[in-house]
Amino acid sequence: MVKTIRVSEEYHEWLNAHKESDETMEETLRRMTRGPHPGDVAGLLTAGEAEEAKEAVENLRGRDRDRLDAAGNAFEAEDTTE
């Protein structure tokens, strides 16, 4: 399956400037981001383990969001007392 992503013109130009003549844009992105090839990681986790990993990431993101909200609220409360 092929997906399309949107990037700014500036980013596309930057990628093109770093693209090797024998590379596809995907290969350039992988090289520049050091991302693994999907075939290299396919099958490392069972479906259950993958679901647990996704849930763990969401829980961490939620905690980070809670901490950021609390910090923002603290600054807002500080502003109103001055």
How far separated are the first and last CA of the chain, in Å rounded? 57
Token couple for 82: 């001055």
The answer, yes or no, to whether residue 79 has pLDDT greater than 70, is no
Q: What are the structural domain ranges in the chain?
A: 1-43, 45-82
> What pTM value is reported for the model?
0.42
Q: In whole angstroms, how large is the CA radius of gyration of the chain?
A: 20
Percent of the chain with pLDDT over 90: 37
Give φ, ψ of 4 to 5 degrees.
-110, 135
The answer, yes or no, to whether residue 39 has pLDDT greater than 60, is yes
